[in-house]
Amino acid sequence: MQAELPSKTQRKRAMAELQSLGVGLLRLPDARLAALGLPEPLAEAIAAARRITSREARRRHLQFIGRLMREVDPEPIRAAIAEAEGRSAAARARARALEHWRERLIADDRALTEFAATYPHADLQALRAAIRTARREILQGRPPRARRALLRVLRAAENLL
């Protein structure tokens, strides 16, 4: 018996999904793109698409990227895009861990020593200043602007690992 071929609608849906993955690749930073180890023609097409400003030319080029995506395993790309957008479980766990560090650093001075041991490349001077500002902000009952800034400093320290 002959295997049933996918319908034209199913093929079109699959191609549209590959094209949308290609659009997601455009939003990834260069370092993450390089880590994916994409084939050279696809990497060049993504670099070219970033330079295209004409709407119609960009649309056609994205179709071309979708065509090139047929030759690539889409799962690592989906995972990288989900990671970059913070949708993956690992990204959410890292965000929770950084929020936990932020609360500990604001509450306890000894936590800074632990953080410095865990993240040796962290900018401790910037971190101390951000902690001081966040503590002052809490005492004054102001909106959490400095606490968000502290979280950005923590993220930068994590990215240095």
Tell me whether residue 3 is in a domain: no
Residues 101 and 147 placed together within one structural domain of the fold: yes
Tell me whether residue 16 is in a domain: yes
Residues 143 and 101 placed together within one structural domain of the fold: yes
Tens-digit pLDDT profile for residues 81-103: 887 777 777 778 888 999 999 99
Residues 70 and 137 placed together within one structural domain of the fold: no
Single out the residue of 157, 156, 136, 158 nearest to residue 147, CA to CA.
136
Residues 17 and 44 placed together within one structural domain of the fold: yes
Tell me whether residue 18 is in a domain: yes
What total number of domains does the chain contain? 2
Q: What is the CATH number of the domain that holds 122?
A: 1.10.60.30
Residues 79 and 108 placed together within one structural domain of the fold: no
Residues 102 and 53 placed together within one structural domain of the fold: no
pLDDT at 2: 59
Where is the domain boundary, 58, 84, 110?
Answer: 84
pLDDT at 161: 59
Q: Range of 110's domain?
A: 89-159
pLDDT at 140: 95
Tens-digit pLDDT profile for residues 98-145: 999 999 999 999 999 999 999 999 999 999 999 999 999 999 999 999
Tens-digit pLDDT profile for residues 21-50: 989 899 888 888 888 888 999 999 999 999
